[in-house]
Structure 1
Amino acid sequence: MSAAITKQLEAVIGAVPGWTPETVDIRALDGGVTNSNWLATHEGKLHFLKIYGSGTESFINREVSIDAARQAQSMGIAPEVLYYDKNTGLEVVEFLTGYRASTNADFARRDFLEHVIDLYAAFHSGNPLSETKDVFEMTEEHIEQGREIGALFPADFNWLLKQYSKAKQAFFASGLDLVPCHNDPMPGNFMVQMDDDAITDMKLIDYEYASNNERAYELGVFLGEVFADEKTSLEMIERYYGEVRAETVARVTVARAIADMKWGSWAVQQRQLSDWDFDYQKYGIWKYGRARMLFNDPRWDDWLRAI
């Protein structure tokens, strides 16, 4: 560990009430993208410690994320936030002993899907958060920023935008169904506790991108992330809404296409900004390709009318 990192850790550990560098054992955890993550042991108890990445305050509203995390914890679906200091750039959260992060392969199982749908239903029932940022605002922010820095968009991007605009008009004509949303369905955010091969509990972590958003988007982006087929998607829609109606199927399906436009636009922007060893451009073009498949589906205009 470098001297600079050691000094930073000593400073943040000393900021936690009752902690000193001498009484806390700490080791790095893998998996952090925008922050550095650590396992801290104090008086025999494990804690998850997050040090905010430099510049992340420009795109993450920490007050909203902490509010969302605490609200989820009060529902029993998230770990407890034990300490938070925006100025220090530090967050200490209950370590979920006995849990593991879910993987892409897990979501081939129906029970994993059902647990996630139930987590969403619980979180969406909470009080509104202090920030509303819908998927359309997110998408257009990515596109505008990408254009400013010379991102490479697909050759038919104007046509993709035309279909996106039609979807936006349909949602706004019917009215957005705004609820507290997590907005980040990567598998590692679903921490699962298992007894042999059976799920005994699942919790939702990392509320950095939480906001009030369109309810159907949360389902659509998740079902797209886990590659749920049409039959499975209908089953999950029924589990969440209690029934399968043409309107809800249309909202979730169209939101799934919008999710791919959102993340495709984010990726081609990241290609210009990030030095990570990851082919963001390829990922973005693939996301646009998935959106294009739904835009070209013969049912596309029927879904828009059903919204």
Structure 2
Amino acid sequence: MEYAANYAAGQMGIAPEVVYFIEPENYIVTKFITGKTIPPDVIKTPDYLARVAKKIRLFHRRGPKLKGEFNVFRRVEMLTKISKSNNAKFPHDWDWIMQKTKEVEKALAKDPYTPTPTHNDLLNLNWLEEDVPGDIGEIRLLDWEYARHGRYLL
């Protein structure tokens, strides 16, 4: 799945292009891009959010059929269980956050669900801005290991 998603995203200009795939290890070699990560305070600005949304929408609309499904609600439950079993500390309002999460899931369940290719790990460190002298470089989305079909929200 990671290879298929990364390959398609590279062809669409969303990710660095895949130049080689090594089987059976499933190693992906992509084109090297000189660039920098985008800090949290920068990526949340309106200009960057518009650029991010454009790339994500393109993948949602034109991405390949992927095996498996990613459900963010089940993922949060699983990670919460693991964290609690390891005595991790949670925010004081965690129960309220989880209650709101269940409300969002219930509201989304009222809308027909069409599985869509999704990336599922939009951490700012997975975005790279190309370093292009005297110009604004493209942003590229890295790390496609969680790519599956899921519910898109953009």
Q: Aligned match of 1:104 in 40, 61, 84?
A: 40
Q: Aligned match of 1:134 in 71, 76, 83?
A: 71
Could you tell me which amino acid in structure 2 is paired with residue 124 of structure 1?
H
Q: Which runs of 5+ in 2 are unaligned?
A: none
RCO higher in 1 or 2 (8 Å CA, sep ≥ 6)? 2
Could you tell me which amino acid in structure 2 is paired with residue 116 of structure 1?
V
Could you tell me which amino acid in structure 2 is paired with residue 107 of structure 1?
I
Q: CA deviation at 1:120?
A: 0.8
Identity %: 27
Counterparts in 2 of 1:175 and 1:103: CA distance versus 1, 3 Å: same
Work out the CA distance in 2 between the residues paired with 1:108 and 1:133: 24
TM-score in terms of structure 2 length: 0.78
2:49 is the alignment partner of 1:113: yes
Q: CA deviation at 1:168?
A: 1.5
Give runs of aligned pairs for residues 72-111 of structure 1, distance below 5 A.
72-85=9-22, 87-88=24-25, 90-97=27-34, 99-107=35-43, 109-111=45-47
Q: How many residues align?
A: 152
| Residue of structure 1 equivalent to 2:141 | 204
Work out the CA distance in 2 between the residues paired with 1:158 and 1:115: 34
Q: CA deviation at 1:69?
A: 0.2
- The structure with the largest helix share of the pair is 1
Any idea what the Cα deviations from partners look like across 1:49-70, whole Å, max 9, x if unmatched?
A: xxxxxxxxxxxxxxx1111101
Q: Are the counterparts in 1 of residues 70 and 120 from structure 2 also a CA contact under 8 Å?
A: no
Counterparts in 2 of 1:212 and 1:89: CA distance versus 1, 3 Å: closer
Q: Are the counterparts in 1 of residues 3 and 28 from structure 2 also a CA contact under 8 Å?
A: no
Q: CA deviation at 1:128?
A: 2.8
Counterparts in 2 of 1:112 and 1:145: CA distance versus 1, 3 Å: same
Comparing 65-74 with 110-119, greater Cα deviation is found at: 110-119
Give runs of aligned pairs for residues 1-307 of structure 1, distance below 5 A.
64-85=1-22, 87-88=24-25, 90-97=27-34, 99-107=35-43, 109-125=45-61, 126-154=63-91, 157-193=94-130, 194-196=132-134, 198-216=135-153, 219=154
Could you tell me which amino acid in structure 1 is paired with residue 51 of structure 2?
H
- C-alpha root-mean-square deviation of aligned residues, in Å? 2.6
